[in-house]
Amino acid sequence: MHIHAAILWEQGQPLSVEAAELDGPGPGELLVEIKAAGVCHSDLHPARGDWAMKVPVVLGHEGAGIVRDVGPNVTRVRKDDHVVLCWAPACGVCPPCKEGRAVLCDRLEKVTYRNKLPSGAARLHARGKDVAPFLGTACFSDFVVVPEEAAVPVPRDLRLDALATIGCAVLTGVGAVTNAARVPAGSRVLVIGAGGIGLNVIQGAAIEKCEQIIALDLRPAPLALAKQFGATHCIEGTGVASTGTSTGLSTNQRLPSPVHDVPAAIRELTGGRGADFVFDTVGSPATLATAIACTRKGGAVVLTGLSRQDAQGSIPMFPFVMQEKRLIGSVYGSGQPLKDIPRLVSLYQAGRLKLDELVSRTYPLDKVNDALAALAASDGARGVIRW
Ligand SMILES: [Zn+2]
Ligand SMILES: [Zn+2]
């Protein structure tokens, strides 16, 4: 069929929205008409060339739409179902899948992270070439063909542009709190970065009834949003980690800004102890250093921000051992997306999960480059492509 898709022909260059050809679904596959697609840093990284990637490719991995056709042997999803796309379609039979760790499925490394469908088929073509589907979802496109495991049916009365964000940012942020860290109620939590993932770590911590939820960002606008999502304190940092003397701060709601010594500010807010859990949603060597310095004895750092591929952080090893700190990596919510996504939809229906507030800007597909540019200069919330 004839469609339009935003194709990356060369990394570092704008996407080109143009005519393309999409083949119908094969066995175990679905044809989905995309209605909304969130714009995530994991689209920006390959677009800018931070992550090397074979082109041409259609980006987009945070999508929602309507199933228009199903191939043979599809059992779980039906034509006309509304679905949220999952960019980690697990095989269900490998050792990590059997352990219940679907996001670590062996098939993802062999297939999905190489921008291929599990069937191995090339379904998308443009200018006489095969075009790779980013993470097998490629939802900066009118229609996509995805494996059945990449689609999660959702109720038809809910807005698809709000639901799209569940497919990456919301699951990643909330799951880091509930699945990776298993944060207990009453905890004191620091969240570094109040972007798409960070805001969802904050609302995950609020859902788990954390006592203190401290948001740290370099920009004032995301911090204002962080309050809406449940942050009890906001700190505007300077991007420099240090562990100097007292800042003389009281536990007021908004700290004098910018704060130069973030670890000292966190200690003051937490009765001198440091945070029980620190979530680094930025993923730079500097934020990791800040995260470790802000964590209390026996506390944990959860690293969920995707860095550049070549980023190396360092750890002060002696205090890390003596203070029994822990470092946890968390990808895509660390759970089972096919179960976690419906649970998140239920929380949204119950008014306990903010999704509409997460969408601050919408764009038509042919403005996708504006959406990526706005993300690069982000105010924290999500831009969504809407059809
Ligand atoms: Zn598997
Ligand atoms: Zn993403």
Identify whether residues 37 and 163 lie together within a single domain: yes
> How far, in Å, from the CA of 32 to the mean position of ligand 2?
19
What average pLDDT does the chain have?
93
Which of 82-96, 229-243, 280-294, 313-327 has the least mean pLDDT?
229-243
pLDDT score at 244: 34
Are 334 and 180 in contact, with CB atoms under 8 Å apart?
A: yes
Q: How far apart are CA 126 and CA 113, in angstroms?
A: 21
Cα gap 249→269, rounded to integer Å:
8
How far apart are alpha carbons 21 and 104 in whole angstroms? 32
Same domain as 185, residue 154 = no
- Kindly tell me if the per-residue pLDDT of 87 is higher than 90: yes
Whether 130 and 42 map to the same domain: the answer is yes
**Alpha-carbon gap, residue 326 to 340, rounded angstroms:** 25
Contact (Cβ atoms closer than 8 angstroms) between residue 19 and residue 38? no
Indicate if the pLDDT at residue 219 is higher than 60. yes
Residue 311: the pLDDT is 86
238 pLDDT band (50/70/90 cuts)? confident
75 pLDDT higher than 60: yes
Percent of the chain with pLDDT over 70: 95
Question: How would residue 310 be classed by pLDDT, with cut points 50, 70 and 90?
Answer: confident
Q: Tokens standing for 305?
A: 């921000």
Instruction: State the distance from the centre of ligand 1 to the C-alpha of 106, rounded, in angstroms.
Output: 5
| CATH code where residue 62 lies | 3.90.180.10
Q: For residue 149, which ligand has an atom nearest its CA? A: 1
Q: Answer whether residue 19 is part of any domain.
A: yes
Say yes or no: 207 and 325 in one domain: yes
Banded pLDDT at 379 (limits 50, 70, 90): low
Q: Is residue 347 part of a domain?
A: no
Q: 43 alpha carbon to ligand 2 midpoint, in Å?
A: 7
Q: How far is the CA of 339 from the centre of ligand 1 (A)?
A: 15
User: Can you give the pLDDT at residue 251?
Assistant: 33
Residues 101 and 202 in one domain: no
**Which H/E stretch holds residue 39?**
strand 29-39
Task: Report CA torsion sign: 263, 266, 270, 274.
Answer: negative
d(CA 239, CA 242): 10
Tell whether 336 is covered by a domain: no
| Alpha carbon of 246 to ligand 2 centroid (Å) | 38
How far, in whole angstroms, is CA 360 from its chain's centroid? 16
Would the pLDDT of 378 be above 80?
no
pLDDT confidence of residue 258 = 76
Looking at the fold, whether 380 and 263 belong to one and the same domain comes out as no
Q: What is the pLDDT of residue 248?
A: 30
Domain that holds residue 78: 2-167+354-386
Q: Which ligand is nearest to the CA of 88?
A: 1
Contacts of residue 240, defined as CB under 8 A and 6 or more positions apart, other chains included, come to 260, 286
- Same domain, yes or no: 196 and 249: yes
Q: Is residue 163 part of a domain?
A: yes
Statement to judge: residues 212 and 326 lie in one domain:
yes
**How far does the centroid of ligand 2 lie from the alpha carbon of residue 373, in Å?**
16
Q: Is the pLDDT reported for residue 255 higher than 60?
A: no
109: CA distance to ligand 1 center in Å?
10
Residue 383 confidence (pLDDT)? 92
CA of 330 to the centre of ligand 1 (A): 17
What is the number of H-type helices and E-type strands within the chain? Answer: 12, 19
Residue 48 has pLDDT above 70, yes or no: yes
Mean predicted confidence (pLDDT) in 218-241: 87
Q: What three-state secondary structure class fits 57?
A: strand
Asked if pLDDT for residue 141 goes beyond 60, the answer is yes
Who's near 203: CB < 8 A, 6+ residues apart?
A: 173, 174, 229, 230, 353, 354
Is the residue at 88 inside a domain? Answer: yes
Is 221 among the domain residues? yes
The kind and range of the H/E element at 359 are: strand 359-363
Higher pLDDT, 205 or 245: 205
Do 109 and 193 lie in one domain? The reply is no
- Looking at the structure, tell me whether residues 143 and 268 fall in a common domain: no
- For residue 106, which ligand has an atom nearest its CA? 1
Average pLDDT, integer, range 193-207: 96
State what percent of residues in the chain have pLDDT above 90: 86
* Statement to judge: residues 30 and 57 lie in one domain: yes
Name the band, by pLDDT with cuts 50, 70 and 90, for residue 239: low
Q: How distant, in Å, are the alpha carbons of 17, 165, 332, 364 from that of 113?
A: 23, 20, 13, 27
CA 306 to centroid of ligand 2, rounded, Å: 9
Helix ranges restricted to H, the chain: 41-48, 95-98, 106-110, 160-164, 169-175, 196-207, 220-228, 262-269, 285-294, 317-322, 337-349, 368-376
**Domain of residue 323, CATH code:** 3.40.50.720
What CA–CA distances, in Å, run from 53 to 43, 49, 56, 58, 311?
Answer: 11, 8, 9, 11, 17
Measured in angstroms, how far is the CA atom of residue 164 from the centroid of ligand 1? 24
Task: Please check whether residue 247 lies inside any domain of the structure.
Answer: yes
What's the 223 CA to ligand 2 centre distance in angstroms? 21
Tokens 């090339």 belong to residue: 122
pLDDT at residue 167 tops 80:
yes
Residues 146 and 236 in one domain: no
In a domain, 200, yes or no: yes
Domain count, the chain: 2
Please give the C-alpha separations between residue 75 and each of 78, 154, 218, 272, 365, in angstroms, as whole numbers. Answer: 8, 16, 47, 55, 31
pLDDT at 245 > cutoff 50: no
Ligand number, closest to the Cα atom of 333: 2
